[in-house]
Amino acid sequence: MMKIKLFLTDVDGVLTDGSMYYTESGDELKRFHTHDGMAFELLRNAGIKTGIVTSENTQIVARRAAKIKADYLFQGKRDGGKLTAAEQICAEMDITMAEVAYIGDDINCLELLKAVGLPACPANAVSMIKNIPNIILLKTKGGEGAVREFVDMILKNHTNRYENH
């Protein structure tokens, strides 16, 4: 496996449990897990760039991306837009898709999951995603630390690679 240089994630169903909460006045709320936030810091400390690529387009996600210091944020990416966004980042970083890890949970993540070098999905991803060849099926559900589980796997591999040389 090639060294991972870029970590990307979806939001709803991955960084959140996929639930949509609305207040009486129409405000939307999302619940994020702190372990996933720490995962971004761990990646940053390891020199791996991070990004969020989502179909949604909300201030909530923009605020979360800023708080966890994601290097890239692409919102409103539909109909192949997620893959295009990832390819754009790869071109900017001068890396290949084989050097990208991505975690997604639903059919709008399918193209990108099939294109990256290291795909993963939360335990509660839809069947079509779970059945992608070579996908890492995590034990943790979206919004409950699935990103952290995946990042811990990546960093363990990342560290072991250098310890063996």
* 7 and 43 Cβ atoms separated by less than 8 Å: yes
Annotated binding residue at 105? Answer: yes
Rounded Cα distance between 27 and 161, Å, is 46
Alpha helices in 23-116 (DSSP H): 34-45, 59-67, 81-93, 110-115
List, as residue ranges, the binding site.
Answer: 10, 12, 105
List, as residue ranges, the binding site for Mg(2+).
Answer: 10, 105
List, as residue ranges, the binding site for substrate.
Answer: 12
